[in-house]
Structure 1
Amino acid sequence: MFLWQYLTLLLPITVQICKAQTCEEFSDLDLSHAIIGTSLRIRLLLYTRDNVTCGSLVPHTDLSAHPRFNCSRPTTFIVHGYRPTGSPPMWVEKITELLLVQADINVIVVDWNRGAANVNYFKAVENTRRAANNLTAFIQIMQEHGASLSSIYMIGVSLGAHVSGFVGANLNGAIGRITALDPAGPQFTGSAPEDRLDPTDAQFVDVLHTDIDALGFREPLGHIDFYANGGADQPGCPRTIFSGGSYFKCDHQRSVLLYLDSMNQTCTSMAYPCTSYKDFLDGDCLSCDRFGAAGCPVFGYGVTKWKDVLLKLGQTKTYFTTNKVSPFCMTNYRVEVMIWNEEVRYGYITVKLHSNGKEAVATIDHKESEFKKHTETTLLAHFDKDVQSVKKVSLKFSTGNVLKPKYKLRVLRIRLTHLERKERPLCRYDILLQEDKEVTFRPIPCEESNF
């Protein structure tokens, strides 16, 4: 009898413990849900440093019932976009973990899969306003429990970028920051600021564009807009429809992968202010003077370092290039070439940097470069990796002309300047480049005098 009474008392405690240990997961739907269509339902999944991989469901009204939710901590909301097949975003767990490495915060994954999962994209667009109103009401309850709007950060992907913008507008632009990762273009392009994300929606709005020619938004939307590889046709993404689904979504999804990389801190992607991608590639936009001692802004999580100067400058468009795979960041050099050929030469330059068994490669081939006698040609070289203490440099000149005679490029001087590190430029004088033949040499620190 005693044993039975003991077990009776123990059972409710065991049930409570099991409940406490239950991990809530993102709604996992399938194509059948999307075909039928889903009605909007929002679930808020909380992650903290105490439960990095185990989400807990936050009630929308009674926050006091949730012991883990501390409103005195900063809170970051992650808002996904359109889910045409109903599957969970594959990046949610990773972004949550990396955010919690950066700071002791609340991370709330906004699961609006029911509402975003619909083969009818227009229905999902309609739900963005309703989702934003729901989140606005929740944040107002957070305020009642002591949360500060300036400590709220929203990361919105695709449609989620506009959801975040609507939330910010509802709160009169008082939330601290919105990061928009390739904001959705369809149904938003050409719309008024109140019908999409815009810079007034938060104290600071930073935007990444990766698919402006299809699923993304082309025009600037924030205080700073980053255009990775010009904002379209990301390296490593398929170029033909025969590649299947990745042809449609790879460029769009790259925005999230680039943002994740920015938190890994293995390397950084410096972005350069410019009016166009063409001018950037041509090496016409390499000055960072307007940003003062901080230099040009770095894309990603840490861009708030440049917040004050960006707010003074107004809307700023910047460009950077990436590798095909992670780590995506590239290293930029200014390459200045002066020749002494009597005739003008046109062609492409490939540069390799060597140091302690490592090799970095940059091929400057976005257009034919023009080389004139005793005239400095400035090129921008994007190297696939950073090489410390360059020991050797390899150069190759090519024209792409198969049938014409092979040319020679008589280089009077070449100067390589690292754009992200303050180092003395490297030079070499009097080099003869035969077309399509690589020449390797040891560089020397440049002389102070100019030709």
Structure 2
Amino acid sequence: MLSFYVFISLVSLVRPDPDETCPSFTRLSFHSAVVGTGLNVKLMLYTRRNLTCAQTVNSTALGHLNVTKKTAFIVHGFRPTGSAPVWMGDLVEGLLSVEDMNVVIVDWNRGATTVMYHYASSRTRKVATVLKEFIDRMLAEGASLDDIYMIGVSLGAHIAGFVGAMYEGQLGRITGLDPAGPLFNGRPPQDRLDPGDAQFVDVIHSDIDALGYKEPLGHIDFYPNGGLDQPGCPQTIFGGLQYFKCDHQRSVYLYLASLRENCTVTAYPCDSYRDYRNGQCVSCGVPQKESCPILGYYADDWKDYLLENHPPMTKAFLDTAEKKPFCMHHYFVDIITWNKSVRRGSITIRLRDGAGSTTESKIDHEPATFQKYHQVSLLARFNQDLDKIAAISLVFSTGSVVGPKYKLRILRMKLRSLAHPERPQLCRYDLVLMENVETVFQPISCPKLQM
């Protein structure tokens, strides 16, 4: 587990404490938040050379920072209790595990710790000024703006934007992790993060109805689960403190998953979450098309294609599982029915492999309409990827608790993987589903020529 971090003040640079061999992130109490704290910015450097012990750096002493390598700055946000971010050490470790770089933690806990959010917000530009002084020194020593990467969380995302604006958008990249919404929503570009702040700006929105910013802020903006309620987070106040911060923090944990998990979190460019859920925006996963954008650290793999072929700001939607590694595996379930009357309802599909592992997708975000001899293509999302499917089960439901039970007569069902189009498509013919009754069957490979 990594330790933490380093010192520099806003007005006068603070010299390292000779007695502090491994500087750590400033830890304050709730009492400090109540009485208030003056701004003091500390910078702490980690590299693969000093992976477990931070080194104090400032604009007069770069320490072990190698200006020929990429430098990632991690900028936290509002700290109403004074505690250290629980994810900070994992983020440092994850970044250094994927690339040999400099990682600088920007600790402005003295300034961010206050129960008055607007006090912390008012200090964001001053933090950006301190960072510009440090980056100016790096540039004087031979660093390139192309190699500057800023990762900002909540208020930290806007701090990163202010730094980028000072360099007229020439920073290499900014990643905004659920940029703060309160006091920033509706503000002009110069007063918040904006795609003009870096060569590439990617943003993850995970709490757009509360603490996060709703509208797009980058070249590509990811909206996991529509940017609203995140799976696994408490939905009522009885969830305690997690009820208030879980959705907001999920952006950080999704980013962490891109560094540490053997699972790619794929997103789909789309105009709306509803269109994505209805399977209308998955062309990037089709052979001969561009690859789909990846949420997190490797989002910039899509940079060149995005900047050349897409509008200046692109929204991308995805669903995630409720716990890490969070990734979902997308399939299309194509159904042709032969009922005389129209049927409307939801489908639940469960897959099982030969070893007995199962995974389930409930497609019930809105009723599907089944008409005679018309194909309905439903987007199913599973939290497990089963390579060889031995059995499939389907449940049809109209959602009605009273009244008659209906049948859904299926002429053909076809299951096809979006992530692995090379896999055989699986079919079943002439099937009758009784409402709310699970029907299990063994699929067969679909013929090459589809009807």
1:131-150, aligned counterparts within 5 Å?
131-150=127-146
1:333 to 331, 334, 342: 331
In the alignment, what sits opposite 1:447? 447
199-208 vs 18-27, greater mean Cα deviation? 18-27
Residue 426 of structure 2 is aligned to residue 426 of structure 1: yes
| Cα deviation, residue 450, structure 1 | 3.5
74-83 vs 294-303, greater mean Cα deviation? 294-303
Runs of 4+ in 1 over 6 A off after TM superposition: 289-292
2:283 is paired with a residue whose SS is coil
In the alignment, what sits opposite 2:179? 183
Residue 224 of structure 2 is aligned to residue 225 of structure 1: no
Q: Distance in 2 between matches of 1:51 and 1:367?
A: 52
In the alignment, what sits opposite 2:68? 72
Amino acid at match of 1:329: C
2:251 is paired with a residue whose SS is helix
Q: Distance in 2 between matches of 1:410 and 1:268?
A: 36
Q: Distance in 2 between matches of 1:289 and 1:212?
A: 27
Residue 114 of structure 2 is aligned to residue 118 of structure 1: yes
In the alignment, what sits opposite 1:36? 35
Cα displacement string for residues 206-265 of structure 1 (whole angstroms, at most 9, x for unaligned residues): 000000001000000000000000001111111112322211111001110111011124
1:288 is paired with a residue whose SS is helix
283-292 vs 177-186, greater mean Cα deviation? 283-292
In the alignment, what sits opposite 1:4? none
Q: Distance in 2 between matches of 1:227 and 1:395?
A: 29
Say whether the 8 Å CA contact 1:74–1:106 is kept in structure 2.
yes
The structure with the largest helix share of the pair is: 1
2:133 is paired with a residue whose SS is helix
Say whether the 8 Å CA contact 2:287–2:421 is kept in structure 1.
no
2:111 is paired with a residue whose SS is helix
Question: TM-score normalised to the size of structure 1?
Answer: 0.93
2:80 to 84, 93, 109: 84
1:335 is paired with a residue whose SS is strand
In the alignment, what sits opposite 2:344? 346
Say whether the 8 Å CA contact 1:291–1:309 is kept in structure 2.
no
| Cα deviation, residue 26, structure 1 | 0.4
In the alignment, what sits opposite 2:150? 154
1:190-201, aligned counterparts within 5 Å?
190-201=186-197
In the alignment, what sits opposite 2:410? 411
| Cα deviation, residue 372, structure 1 | 0.7
260-269 vs 226-235, greater mean Cα deviation? 260-269
Residue 251 of structure 2 is aligned to residue 278 of structure 1: no
119-128 vs 414-423, greater mean Cα deviation? 414-423
In the alignment, what sits opposite 2:435? 435
Q: Distance in 1 between matches of 2:162 and 2:66?
A: 25
Say whether the 8 Å CA contact 2:261–2:325 is kept in structure 1.
no
Say whether the 8 Å CA contact 2:286–2:418 is kept in structure 1.
no
| Cα deviation, residue 46, structure 1 | 0.7
Distance 1:289 1:228, change over 3 A: closer
Distance 1:228 1:83, change over 3 A: same
1:29 is paired with a residue whose SS is coil
| Cα deviation, residue 60, structure 1 | 2.7
Cα displacement string for residues 354-394 of structure 1 (whole angstroms, at most 9, x for unaligned residues): 11222111010111111111001111111121111222211
Q: Distance in 1 between matches of 2:378 and 2:215?
A: 27
Say whether the 8 Å CA contact 1:53–1:93 is kept in structure 2.
no
In the alignment, what sits opposite 1:59? 58
Say whether the 8 Å CA contact 2:286–2:421 is kept in structure 1.
no
In the alignment, what sits opposite 1:6? none
Cα displacement string for residues 158-195 of structure 1 (whole angstroms, at most 9, x for unaligned residues): 00000000000101111111000000001111110011
In the alignment, what sits opposite 2:9? none
1:168 to 131, 144, 164: 164
In the alignment, what sits opposite 2:12? none
Distance 1:332 1:289, change over 3 A: closer
| Cα deviation, residue 425, structure 1 | 2.0
Identity percentage of aligned residues: 52
Amino acid at match of 1:336: D
Say whether the 8 Å CA contact 1:82–1:116 is kept in structure 2.
yes
| Cα deviation, residue 146, structure 1 | 1.0
1:322 to 315, 320, 323: 320
Equivalent residue pairs, number: 431
Runs of 5+ in structure 2 lacking a partner? 1-16
| Cα deviation, residue 21, structure 1 | 8.2
Residue 293 of structure 2 is aligned to residue 297 of structure 1: yes
Residue 248 of structure 2 is aligned to residue 249 of structure 1: no
Q: Which has the larger radius of gyration?
A: 1
Runs of 5+ in structure 1 lacking a partner? 1-17
